[in-house]
Structure 1
Amino acid sequence: MEDSIALEGFRELFPEKNGVSCSVRYKKRMKGYSASIAYSRASNLVEFRLGRGWMDVSQTIKKGLFQELLVKIFKKKGERIKPTMEMELYSNFVKNLHLSVSKSEAEPLLEQSFERVNDSYFSGLLEKPNMRFSGVSFRKLARYDYQEDMITVSEIFRDAKPEMLDYLIYHELLHKKMKFSYKNGKNYHHTRSFKKMEEKFENAAGLEKEFGIFIAKKRRELSRKTGFLSIFR
């Protein structure tokens, strides 16, 4: 049944494309409400892979999910896609997912940062999300995942000064609070109002400069460590 719903969603968005088939599969290894899409040109098959959290979600919202993923694969550059009712329902569903996601993961260092930021900038009113350090990344410093209500921070910030870590957490909490704008089939996260709120963090401009220095330092440290280890390989 869900295969046919996905195909129906595809035909609504891209009626000019023929011969496409759709397959929906639930994967144990995928967490909660995570989802992905894969397309094989050879077989003209679109496969949707969903976490088990989606099993009890209404077919209407799942259709919106399928259409959101389809747009990422099939939308041409410059093409305007008019959002369907199902896509808008899906967008609203994602914005409120944090209310139902269990809060079971919070590393002490990040939890302390959350408490400082929440008290100083949100009057202590924000619900604490899941939080963790994960991976050494110099590009994606931190991110907020709506499906898991999770803030993930690069490992390089474990020994960063509190103000720097707080600024990262503040940025991600703004995503949690302000959600995203949905227009023409696309989600906009860093809107003008978001950037204005971001600038309200104390010494934001100065911290932005410090990030560049800190990241360069961490790159050098990792390079020296990697070079040292390679001698003994």
Structure 2
Amino acid sequence: MHHLIKKAFTELYSKEPDFDARLKYSRAFKGYNANVKYTKFSMEFRLSHSWKEVSDEIKIGLLQHLLNKVYKTDIETINTELYEIFLKKIPGLAKKTKSHPLLEDSFSRMNDEYFDGMMSAPNLEFGDKAFRTLGTYDYTTDTIRISTVLRKNMTLLDYVMYHEMLHKKFQYRKTGKRTIHHSREFRQWESRFREPDVENKLKWFLRKEKLKSFWFT
């Protein structure tokens, strides 16, 4: 058993682990992602290669975070606190390798209009032509990904970009077992968008685009 896993488990549950466990670094993960696969008698913790350069104390916090998920516990330690602090600093560590002119323009507009131009640019990329998930922000790679369906409407593209930029600004907070991504302050900022009826416009736009996809594919 890897010594970090043993230490993470022992400090979390005050007993020795009674299972076999391995730790692997994988290039299959982007940024600082990680997961755990487990059976009744064994566990395999897989971490991205980026974790190799991180201190053992923070890695123990990551392992304890994953153990909490496996055992459905919510135990906090100094290491899990260090891990949470590290997570919120990851956007500043992530390499910036992806961009797109349309997304750069949208990001710049929203940055100047709502953040006084002070937000650092993340990775920017278009995803699939999705109608349900229009945008995402990945903390572990500092990446905003936008559905290609929005390429035809700059106002709606700006709105989704602004929403994802708010995720970058506010990140998340934990209250007990809950992780809150859309706090009251987040919603207050979101309501400042320049077009108050933008949600209805977005719904109508998506409805029309879905019909076009149905008839012309």
- Aligned-partner residue type, residue 90 of structure 2: L
Give the whole-Å Cα distance in 2 for the aligned partners of 1:69 and 1:173.
Answer: 27
Q: Give the 3-state SS of the residue equivalent to 1:23 in structure 2.
A: strand
How many aligned positions are there? Answer: 217
- The yes-or-no answer on 1:49 pairing with 2:40 is no
8 Å CA contact 2:6–2:17 kept in 1: the answer is: no
Identity fraction in percent:
36
Give matches, 1:199-210, under 5 Å: 199-204=191-196, 206-210=197-201
Give the whole-Å Cα distance in 2 for the aligned partners of 1:117 and 1:103.
Answer: 19
Which consecutive residues of structure 2, in runs of 5 or more, have no partner in the other structure?
Answer: none
Give the whole-Å Cα distance in 2 for the aligned partners of 1:187 and 1:37.
Answer: 20
Equivalent in 71, 74, 92 of residue 99 of structure 1: 92
- Aligned-partner residue type, residue 33 of structure 1: Y
Residue equivalent to 2:156: 164
Cα offset, 1:142, TM superposition: 0.8
- The yes-or-no answer on 1:138 pairing with 2:135 is no
- Aligned-partner residue type, residue 8 of structure 2: G
Equivalent in 67, 72, 86 of residue 70 of structure 1: 67
Deviations 1:136-187 (A, max 9, x none): 322221111111110011222222x211111111111111111211232543
Deviations 1:82-127 (A, max 9, x none): 3211111111111111212221211111100000000000000010
TM-score (norm 1): 0.84
C-alpha RMSD of the superposition? 2.2
Residue equivalent to 1:173: 165
8 Å CA contact 1:82–1:184 kept in 2: the answer is: no
Give the whole-Å Cα distance in 2 for the aligned partners of 1:97 and 1:168.
Answer: 22
Which consecutive residues of structure 1, in runs of 5 or more, have no partner in the other structure?
Answer: 227-233
Give the whole-Å Cα distance in 2 for the aligned partners of 1:66 and 1:120.
Answer: 40
8 Å CA contact 1:83–1:184 kept in 2: the answer is: no
TM-score (norm 2): 0.90
- The yes-or-no answer on 1:119 pairing with 2:112 is yes
In structure 2, do the counterparts of structure 1 residues 17 and 170 end up closer, same or farther at CA, with 3 Å as the change threshold? farther
Residue equivalent to 2:35: 36
